[in-house]
Amino acid sequence: MELKLKSLIGEKNRMNHGLQIQENYSLRNYNTFNIDVSAARFVELISDDDIKKFVSQVKVLQPIYILGGGSNVLFLNDFRGLVVSIATKRIQKIDETESSIDLECAAGETWNDVVSFCVKNNYYGIENLVLIPGTVGAAPIQNIGAYGVEIKDILINVEGFDLDSKKLLTFTNKECEFNYRSSIFKTKLNGKFLITKVRVRLSKEKKYQLNYRALNEKFGNQNIESISIQDVANYIKQIRLEKLPDHTKLGNAGSFFKNPEIDIEHLEELKKQFKGIVYFAAATGNYKIAAGWLIEECGFKGKRIGNVSCYEKQALVIVNHGGATGNEIKEYAEKIQSAVKDKFRISLIPEVNII
């Protein structure tokens, strides 16, 4: 969960009821860019009871950052306030019918562990989201998505605490106001809501989303009964592993930019100039342009400046070759934005949260 707010915690080194606060705590292992920054203070919440204690003592006075898996954040400098890591773990069946099953997942669960659990048990609808890094709590904030599926397609509701009123609230799918890589938790409630649980509904009957081109080419001509959920998940794993770097070897946060959206007039102008432009229809009636294609056309694929480059196999991924600072990565991203704006009259918006 990537949220910002202002807060004060009672005592200097220890909150009441025994929540231990670490000082000058390295965040290098808590962000997938592997940026060597520190938090002035750090606390890890490993149980629902820890979360309740924490929320009960929050006062809105000084900086706090609530961190999920750190897979969608770029720290520019040391964080001068308190970084809070949610580490609650639980996957629980809460309802089941002949055709569906509802799961309640704790915010600190690793997202891919939930996907793996569902694939193992033949619960359909989540398999396209395999290998997406991060935690369950971060997933609805960003409305994570891949290969034609977003979390909004399976989410029932989100539970958590309003950090001003300290009340436990539940948001239905509709109330989450999902949009492309966004939700109410990233807009209106940014820094005001702490997600603790996410509930999803999966199908017990075979239902695949195979409209994405690579999946359609692989499975489109096959009888659905001959396709297993493991087949789909494994093929998507293969694609991701071929295109995306291992963040433990090359620091990165996956796709750095969102796919930009333009109207039909702009698209037609670009099609006249660039015959190979990669685009697809958006739900709004406009068209999304593949950000990776735009970046590659501007010559950034594999282009290295200092310790930063776009990944040689996927231009949409900015990587840290080791030793880069957050500001160096930000400056590299800004060069990309400028080049794309000049060449295509399109503004790229970061998907990564820059802190």
Choosing from 212, 243, 274, the residue where a domain stops is: 243
Claim to verify: residue 116 and residue 200 sit in the same structural domain: yes
Q: Which residues contact 165 (CB under 8 A, 6 or more apart)?
A: none
CB-count burial class (<10 Å; 0-12, 13-18, 19+) for 120 = exposed
Choosing from 180, 213, 243, the residue where a domain stops is: 243
Identify the H or E element spanning 243.
Answer: helix 229-243
205 is catalytic: no
**Alpha-carbon distances, residue 175 vs 1, 112, 189, 256, 333 (angstroms):** 18, 25, 12, 27, 33
**Three-state DSSP class for 336?**
helix
Please report how many Cα atoms fall inside a 13 Å half-sphere around the Cα of residue 103, on the Cβ side.
Answer: 24
Claim to verify: residue 154 and residue 215 sit in the same structural domain: yes
**Residue with structure tokens 């400046």?**
305
114 φ/ψ sector (left φ>0, alpha ψ -120 to 50, else beta): alpha
Q: Tokens standing for 263?
A: 């109207």
Claim to verify: residue 95 and residue 212 sit in the same structural domain: yes
Claim to verify: residue 95 and residue 238 sit in the same structural domain: yes
Q: Look at residue 8 in the predicted model and tell me its pLDDT.
A: 37
Q: How many domains does the chain have?
A: 3
Segments of the chain scoring below 70 in pLDDT: 1-18, 59-62
**Three-state DSSP class for 177?**
coil
CATH number at residue 31: 3.30.43.10
70 φ/ψ sector (left φ>0, alpha ψ -120 to 50, else beta): left
Angle at 42 between CA 78 and CA 24, to 5 degrees: 50
Residue 246: what residue type?
A: D
181 is catalytic: yes
Claim to verify: residue 177 and residue 289 sit in the same structural domain: no
14 is catalytic: no
- β-partners of residue 105 are 91, 198
Claim to verify: residue 71 and residue 143 sit in the same structural domain: no
- Rounded CA-CA distance 155/176 in Å is 10
Q: Tokens standing for 156?
A: 């029932």
Catalytic residue among 44, 127, 261, 351: 351
Strand order in the sheet with 304-305: 251-255, 314-320, 308-311, 304-305
Catalytic residue among 181, 199, 201, 261: 181
Claim to verify: residue 73 and residue 31 sit in the same structural domain: yes
Catalytic residue among 150, 255, 296, 297: 255
- How does strand 59-67 pair with strand 79-86? parallel
Q: Look at residue 281 in the predicted model and tell me its pLDDT.
A: 92
CATH number at residue 190: 3.30.465.10
Choosing from 51, 86, 121, the residue where a domain stops is: 86
Domain hosting residue 80, numbered range = 3-86
Helices and strands of the chain, counted as H and E runs: 8, 21
Claim to verify: residue 167 and residue 268 sit in the same structural domain: no
- How does strand 279-281 pair with strand 73-74? unpaired
- Rounded CA-CA distance 123/229 in Å is 8
Claim to verify: residue 257 and residue 335 sit in the same structural domain: yes
Radius of gyration of the chain from its Cα atoms, rounded to whole angstroms? 21
Claim to verify: residue 202 and residue 224 sit in the same structural domain: yes
CATH number at residue 317: 3.90.78.10
Claim to verify: residue 77 and residue 101 sit in the same structural domain: no
Q: Look at residue 4 in the predicted model and tell me its pLDDT.
A: 41
Claim to verify: residue 167 and residue 267 sit in the same structural domain: no
